[in-house]
Structure 1
Amino acid sequence: MIRALACVLALIAGKATAVTCNDATFDGHSFTACTVDATTEDLRLFHRDASGQVLGGWNALSTQIAPQSLAFAMNAGMYHDDRRAVGLFIKDGVETAPLVTQKGPGNFGLLPNGVFCLTDTSARVIETLAYDRQRPACRDASQSGPMLVIGGKLHPRFLADSPSVHIRNGVGTSADGHTAIFAISNDPVNFHTFARFFRDVAKTPDALFFDGSISRLYAPALHRADFGFAALGPMVGVVQ
């Protein structure tokens, strides 16, 4: 745990050059965390190309942004079988899927869930009902769930001994909205362990689950490009 704390906290303290990705060990599990300075880096959400086709993966995303390149990318929210976003999705100020506030099935409906909200200079995780009250001006936004950490506290439904373990990925944000930390577990973990990584290691007061099982990371600095046969829905990435 000490190694993980030193590694990830060093990322938060220092200025990131585009994206800083490191592996860390916490509670006997392996994680990879990528830190982005949202005040200076070009952090965006992606879903479809100019013709409306779902991008689905790193190759299509890289083609979409050429001649610029990806410094980092990750799947960033749940989707239906046809790759439509399950909850709110906003790209460049245009809402293509509405906010969902009611309780529902699956992890997305395990309230409270939340919204990952980006502006040109900030990144924030906001609980869904708080987002609905505030309606902040997000340039890009993706709703997912459940929340992992809410105001420094773990989601109340998480159990330390839960046998439900999967590869999981998500995002946590600093209180000032300046830093986003994206993490993926490299071996199966339950929600309780994954949430504690954000609370106790990344030290993010708010964190949001993106998905499990299909979780993927593109991190060229680590020579990593996770592959899967199923196309992805919403994605997040840093363009450089």
Structure 2
Amino acid sequence: MIRAFATLGAALWAAQAHAVTCEKLTHEDKRYTVCEVDASEDLRLFLNDDEGDLLGHFSSVNDSLAPEGKRLVFAMNAGMYHDDRSPVGHYVENGQEKMRVIPNAGPGNFGLLPNGVFCIRERRADVFETLTFVDQAPKCRFATQSGPMLVIDGELHPRFLPDSTSRYIRNGVGTSADGTRTVFAISEDYVTFHEFGRLFRDVLETPNALFLDGNISRMYERASNRSDIGFSLGPIVGVVEDAP
């Protein structure tokens, strides 16, 4: 379960669907929604449908799952993308690489090195710093690259500033050292990178955590009937269950 004792007394509600647990919490006067996913859950990435058309919305992902007799439990945007919604960095879906790893610096938050890769494997998920990912070359069923890293081996990204004035709605993912806990968070208030990183390090206790995106951040959670809407997204990460 999410480390509720570290949330400064701020859990407002919790809803559970199988082993996906979402809570609202407040840390340092900033509000967040946090969802923890057990390693046994069916966690996937989504980008295009079977015809190659962009999914882009949580509703479209649900439509694509219906023929399988499946549906989303939880979902969130899962990394940065170009204007055509193609991934900026490494992207793997069902074991097929759609975009190679980008190890070098570049413009924007993605290029604020070190960045990282979120890798989903059988019964585990891990956030890797990108060069560590390249060295270890894990075989991911699904993977998405984004940046910057929020927490690296228990330490905040070295370029985060405590007094930064850059504030956005942000979302990210962190994982436990053994890969059995995957924790997603989205801010409900505008937060800095430093504040968001401290949430993952100090409250969620994930030794490695990755920024997924800011400003466009959106979330879906069936149990609370939440489904944020907006323009089309690129990669989407979600937990899938059997439809009744």
CA contact (8 A) 2:43 2:239 kept: yes
Q: Confirm whether residue 21 of structure 1 aligns to residue 58 of structure 2.
A: no
Q: In the alignment, what sits opposite 1:42?
A: 42
CA contact (8 A) 1:119 1:139 kept: yes
Q: In the alignment, what sits opposite 2:156?
A: 154
Q: Which runs of 5+ in 1 are unaligned?
A: none
Cα offset for 1:18? 3.2
Aligned pair in 2 of structure 1 residues 6, 173: CA closer, same or farther (>3 Å)? Answer: farther
Q: In the alignment, what sits opposite 1:138?
A: 140
TM-score of the pair, normalised by structure 2: 0.92
Q: In the alignment, what sits opposite 1:57?
A: 57
Q: Confirm whether residue 194 of structure 1 aligns to residue 196 of structure 2.
A: yes
Cα offset for 1:36? 0.2
CA RMSD of aligned residues (A): 1.7
Q: Deviations over 1:45-82 (max 9, x none)?
A: 11111111110011110011112111100000000000
Q: Distance in 1 between matches of 2:202 and 2:185?
A: 13
CA contact (8 A) 2:10 2:27 kept: no
Cα offset for 1:42? 0.3
Cα offset for 1:2? 5.6
The percentage of counterpart residues that share the same residue type is 55
Q: Distance in 2 between matches of 1:176 and 1:27?
A: 28
Q: Which runs of 5+ in 2 are unaligned?
A: none
Cα offset for 1:3? 6.5
Amino acid paired to 2:192: N
Q: Distance in 2 between matches of 1:31 and 1:42?
A: 24
TM-score of the pair, normalised by structure 1: 0.93
Q: In the alignment, what sits opposite 1:232?
A: 233
Q: In the alignment, what sits opposite 2:117?
A: 115
Cα offset for 1:157? 0.3
Q: Distance in 1 between matches of 2:92 and 2:148?
A: 19
Q: Distance in 1 between matches of 2:117 and 2:71?
A: 26
The number of aligned residues is: 233
Q: In the alignment, what sits opposite 2:165?
A: 163
Aligned pair in 2 of structure 1 residues 6, 151: CA closer, same or farther (>3 Å)? Answer: farther
Q: In the alignment, what sits opposite 1:99?
A: 101
Cα offset for 1:16? 7.4
